[in-house]
Structure 1
Amino acid sequence: MALKFMWSTEGCDDGQCPSIYEDENTGDYIVQGLRLTDDETGELIHLANDETAVRVPAEMLHRLARSRSLHRTPIANDAFGDYLDGARTSLQRFEFHGTYNVGDEYAQAEAWNLGNSDAFAPRERPWLNRVRSWIDAGVSVERVRVHEDEPTVYQRWLQWAGTWNTQAGERIAYLTRSEALRIGLFPYAAHVDGWIVDGRRALLFNFDAEDRITSTDLVDDPQNVALINSWWDLAVNHAQIDRAASAA
């Protein structure tokens, strides 16, 4: 059996949370959840001797249903940048995953939290030069981040470092997780994370259990893209612009 971790329940911090896996050999799903009490187990109908049952939050199954409703086509890693560079009018980054194990960012965030503001050298970063080139070409670059109600050290570092993204021309806004739940964005869109290009196609990231991006899928079916655009509109209409970064 080759199990592929898909995700844990929202807000999981210690890794000991209900989770879902895919059996890559059969396509079946394996669900990890809380054991039922004896009384709850006794209420189950026709539970066979080789069967068991666990309790999982409803949002996990909602998320699974949504993830399978989008027609996603894997793309090569080196094609991702080509899609972004091919934008003509807009690039919209929706950061709904919340945590990203990219390069040495975790270490930079910890160093920043200890008072080392030199832990980030943004002006030399190729990404910011790329953003400037898109802006100069007339492409708007927007970003909405969903962070915890009490942001983690990493998320607070992202907010601090966002100053240089804003100076490069990005427009960054923030939404708390509780607000995302209140407006109905989560749990339905909690599984999507990536980019919308020109409003006509989406690039969605896949993550492993350590929050590393493992691959990217393309969504270009008009109906599915319209659904993702509606999630973006909902998020951006309720998110708060990072005023401090904008004024920096």
Structure 2
Amino acid sequence: MGSLVTDPATFQRLFEDFHHAAFKLEVRRSYGVPSEDEPFQVFLAGGDPGVAWLRSWLDLMRAETAKGKRVERVRVVDEPPSDYLRFELSVTPHNIAAGEDIRYLARRRATELALPQYDFWLFDSQLVAFLHFTDDDQFVGFSTTEDPAEVLKHCQCRDRAWTRALPFSAPPTTVAAAA
């Protein structure tokens, strides 16, 4: 695993530079992303947080998927879903409209499938980006590897998760019941 990279522009380049497919396994129950703090609080108070805070990501996804690239995620969910997951669910239609394909997998099922208990992105089945967080869920950066054994392991995790996860159109309560 490479050294920790904290530069946001370097992280964004991973999405600009991949050629075919990017996949993310999301296993955290919450994410401490400063740009989401205010919208998350608005959501918790019952308001509409809008998506202005998410616009740069949506624009990037729209641009990259318009080139024929695939961006896929599997979100591991608890039942009932955490407040943060409910917040994510509220904006997921915008992610889908921007070209992402997002699916859900019950946490119990993820454990049975021996999926990692950490988040990662897999680019073109050639590079793994491990996401690093503090104990209080703050994103601090990422590290990468192109080691063939590590890449293969994460490709296999992707395949196990993707083939068993349910599409966004199935709400998390259905995911938990069906998995």
Do residues 158 (structure 1) and 84 (structure 2) align?
Answer: no
2:128 paired residue among 202, 206, 222: 202
Q: Match for 1:242 among 168, 172, 177?
A: 168
Deviating runs (4+, > 3 A) in structure 1?
A: 71-76
State how far apart, in whole Å, the 2-side matches of 1:89 and 1:226 are. 17
Structure 2: which 5+ runs fail to align?
Answer: 172-179
More relative contact order, 1 or 2 (CA 8 Å, 6+ apart): 2
Query: CA 1:124 to 1:109, structure 2 compared with 1: closer, same or farther past 3 Å?
Result: closer
Which structure dedicates a bigger proportion of its chain to helix?
Answer: 2
TM-score (norm 2): 0.86
CA distance in 2, matches of 1:202, 1:229: 9
Residue 75 of structure 2 corresponds to which residue in structure 1? 145
Secondary structure of the residue that 1:126 maps to in structure 2? helix
Specify which of 33, 45, 48 is matched with residue 114 of structure 1.
Answer: 45
- Change in Cα spacing, 1:123 to 1:75, as seen in structure 2 (3 Å) is closer
For these two proteins, the number of residue pairs brought into alignment is 170
Residues 149, 178 of structure 1: 8 Å contact kept = no
Gaps of 5+ in 1: 1-70
CA RMSD of aligned residues (A): 2.0
Q: Which residue does 1:179 correspond to in 2?
A: 109
Give the Cα separation in 2 of the matches to 1:220 and 1:123.
32
Q: Percent identity?
A: 25
1:84 corresponds to: 15
Which runs of structure 2 are paired with 1:28-177 in the superposition (5 Å)? 71-75=1-5, 77=7, 78-117=9-48, 119-122=49-52, 125-177=55-107
CA distance in 1 between counterparts of 2:93 and 2:58 reads 11
Give the secondary structure class of the aligned counterpart of 1:162.
Answer: helix
| Contact 2:29-2:82 within 8 A present in 1 as well | no
- Say which SS state the counterpart of residue 94 (structure 2) adopts: helix
Assess, with a 3 A threshold, how the Cα gap between structure 1 residues 201 and 244 changes in structure 2: closer, same or farther. Answer: same
From the CA coordinates, give the structure whose radius of gyration is larger: 1
